[in-house]
Structure 1
Amino acid sequence: MNPALKWTPLVVALALATAGCARDGYYHDRNLDYGEAEIAEPLRLPGGGDAVAGAMPVPQGRIAASTEGAPRPAAGSAVRHTPEAFVESRERGDDRWLVVAAAPAAVWPMLEEFVERQGLTVTQRDARQGILATPQGRFTVQSALRGGASEVRCEAAGRSHAACLSALAGYFEMQGQSASASALAASAEASAALLAVQPTSEGWALSVPADAERVWSELDYQLAGRFDDADFQRLLERDATAREFRVAYLPQRLRGQGEGMLAALAIWRDDPEPRAVRLRVEGAGSEGSRVRIIEGLDGADQRELLERLADLLR
């Protein structure tokens, strides 16, 4: 049997009907109606009505009482990054996979249902290892670099199967529409504890509990898509062999934000340019890997950029 299966994506078509107000390209001009309008008699209130209070009176004292004691955001509180989509595609060379914003324990039953709906025969099923094999393809599920998320692969003859992944992506998208916002928020909170920017003898480093190859691939995806501000931050070069990136980054202290007009004028005179910074992803043994700044920034600026990278990976 040919190992390549003609997958049929499970996609729900939504028919949207729109009603127009025009007939034969003609729209009624109401300006003439307004111009010919006549002044009507004032509205007469029934007996007992209060003409002074107005149509929608606001009780006195209610507004101040309603806001008193309301929770306020803490000063300096950080905004957590949440997934922009329930399922995203990743690729590196010939390798392709999906990142799903749900833990493997939640993705596994979705995958089983997908295989059942496609009418495939399961030849191997190992929920603990996250392996589901059929004659047409082999599915794997594992924890993603981002906390609370999963990586899903579909391979045939040892290679990524693009049509299978496309069908899976469509199915997961439908499932993701029913995922609660609280569940996604919990995933974002869980991811925050996985990454840490820590001081080292060489400066600062971002520790990530995942192997260097996976960290480099995810960072490559995030930098390419979100490091695109020509004035403050952008990706310049990448070196997959050395697991290095070269980026342009302008620290916050040089952007003149929140310091008033004098700081803005000082920035205009200095005309600061983003610094050329070299990053490297290194293996850290059983602890996973770490991201270091090899050159371009020091001290607090170095830590700031690593915190920014940590937000990209969360």
Structure 2
Amino acid sequence: MNSALKWLPLAMLVALAGCARDGGYYHDRNIDYADARQAAPLALPKSRAAERYRDVMPIPEIAGDFRGSTEGFEAPAPQPLGMGRIQREFVESRRVGDDAWLVVGAAPDSVWPQLESFARSRGLGVVTSDSSRGVVETRQGRLSVRQGLRAGDSEVRCDQAGRSVEACLDALEQYFSARSATASSTASLQAQRLAGGERLRLVQRGDEWMVDVPLDIDRTWAELNHQLEQDFTVEDRRELLNSNSRDYSFLVSYMTVTERNRNPLQIVFSADVRKMHQQIRLELEREDSDRTLLRAINVSERDFSAEDRRELLERVASLLR
């Protein structure tokens, strides 16, 4: 075999590469970015129905002034994906005293059509159905849906004469669980207003950091109690020690980032040779009928700086987003 022939495929590739570069068979788009120009922003017509449009990714307002640490600002490490989002059931029950409801893992505009379908399929005798309020009045009682504490959640209730109906809630839980796979695929445009735009935020009042929750204190306590039971379960790092629905408080054991990041030299010259956790009391305070404040109060003898308080509150707040 002629030795020159075995290099023929390589020669053909080189030739093709030359054609691609000179003849334009393969267009390299890498250099297109160098010539890119910014275009004017798109503007929707003024005649549009404004209530049908919302921000896809709203940017929250900054509450309080920025305060860097005394040793200079250091950018925080990014939170891992899914932080604060514990794997959970599509439908879960919540209770505070005699009040009970369901938390459904879908937005109100997706839940609303199913709530109407439930009322009609069970023959409850629908009297009125108001999508703007998320309320279905039946001869058997009232079904309602509203925005949950966490983004993308809904709260569903079944009441009769102002009291929760357990049998109705059980039936609703089974109904929504059976439809969990398709819950997010059907949304009602009329019910989009049920999803509240205001979310919880970290605020600073004086020298104290706290979490401002735009919900009443009972709903906030029930959701936070559930999330802490699921997440604060790591021994010597973060543990839920006690919860009290009477005074809306929690006692947690927590090791701060400051403590976890102590280097060996700091430990040697410290009275504490071990990295230690400390007890913190999380308190909910009623701001008004539909707003709650969450505070973190140090009940141990160890130091608890403003940065430590903010770091703990950010973690707890992430459980509710």
TM value normalised by structure 1: 0.64
2:316 matches 1:313 = no
- Residue 289 of structure 1: aligned partner: 292
> Residues 152 and 264 of structure 1: is their aligned pair in 2 closer, same or farther, counting only changes over 3 Å?
farther
Structure 1 unmatched ranges of 5 or more: 1-67, 69-74, 184-189
- Residue 129 of structure 1: aligned partner: 133
> Residues 124 and 192 of structure 1: is their aligned pair in 2 closer, same or farther, counting only changes over 3 Å?
closer
Aligned residue identity for 1:76: A
Aligned residue identity for 1:307: E
- Residue 208 of structure 1: aligned partner: 213
- Residue 192 of structure 1 and its aligned partner are, at CA, apart by 11
- Residue 176 of structure 1 and its aligned partner are, at CA, apart by 1.9
Instruction: Look up the SS of the partner of 1:303 in the other structure.
Output: helix
Q: How does 1:79-90 map to 2 (within 5 A)?
A: 79-80=81-82, 81-82=84-85, 84-90=88-94
- Residue 239 of structure 2: aligned partner: 234
Q: Is the 8 A contact 2:96 2:245 kept in 1?
A: no
TM value normalised by structure 2: 0.63
- Residue 77 of structure 1: aligned partner: 78
Aligned residue identity for 1:249: Y
Q: Is the 8 A contact 1:203 1:298 kept in 2?
A: no
Instruction: Look up the SS of the partner of 2:275 in the other structure.
Output: coil
- Residue 102 of structure 1: aligned partner: 106
Q: Is the 8 A contact 1:147 1:192 kept in 2?
A: no
Aligned-CA RMSD value = 3.6
Aligned residue identity for 2:227: Q
- CA distance in structure 2 between the partners assigned to 1:192 and 1:112 by the alignment: 24
> Residues 256 and 191 of structure 1: is their aligned pair in 2 closer, same or farther, counting only changes over 3 Å?
farther
Q: Is the 8 A contact 2:217 2:290 kept in 1?
A: no
Structure 2 unmatched ranges of 5 or more: 1-29, 31-75, 188-194
- CA distance in structure 1 between the partners assigned to 2:141 and 2:258 by the alignment: 52
> Residues 107 and 192 of structure 1: is their aligned pair in 2 closer, same or farther, counting only changes over 3 Å?
closer
- CA distance in structure 2 between the partners assigned to 1:251 and 1:263 by the alignment: 18
- Residue 252 of structure 1 and its aligned partner are, at CA, apart by 2.3
- CA distance in structure 2 between the partners assigned to 1:77 and 1:237 by the alignment: 30
- CA distance in structure 1 between the partners assigned to 2:169 and 2:266 by the alignment: 49
> Residues 237 and 192 of structure 1: is their aligned pair in 2 closer, same or farther, counting only changes over 3 Å?
farther
- CA distance in structure 2 between the partners assigned to 1:287 and 1:165 by the alignment: 24
2:160 matches 1:156 = yes
2:281 matches 1:278 = yes
Instruction: Look up the SS of the partner of 2:319 in the other structure.
Output: helix
> Residues 302 and 108 of structure 1: is their aligned pair in 2 closer, same or farther, counting only changes over 3 Å?
same
- Residue 265 of structure 1 and its aligned partner are, at CA, apart by 8.5
- CA distance in structure 2 between the partners assigned to 1:77 and 1:235 by the alignment: 25
How many positions carry a matched residue from both structures? 236
- Residue 238 of structure 1 and its aligned partner are, at CA, apart by 2.3
- CA distance in structure 2 between the partners assigned to 1:112 and 1:245 by the alignment: 37
- CA distance in structure 2 between the partners assigned to 1:126 and 1:192 by the alignment: 20
Q: Is the 8 A contact 1:256 1:264 kept in 2?
A: no
- Residue 179 of structure 1 and its aligned partner are, at CA, apart by 4.3
> Residues 211 and 287 of structure 1: is their aligned pair in 2 closer, same or farther, counting only changes over 3 Å?
closer
- CA distance in structure 1 between the partners assigned to 2:138 and 2:276 by the alignment: 55
- CA distance in structure 1 between the partners assigned to 2:305 and 2:124 by the alignment: 56
- Residue 103 of structure 1 and its aligned partner are, at CA, apart by 2.1
- CA distance in structure 1 between the partners assigned to 2:94 and 2:276 by the alignment: 32
- Residue 122 of structure 2: aligned partner: 118
Q: Percent identity?
A: 39
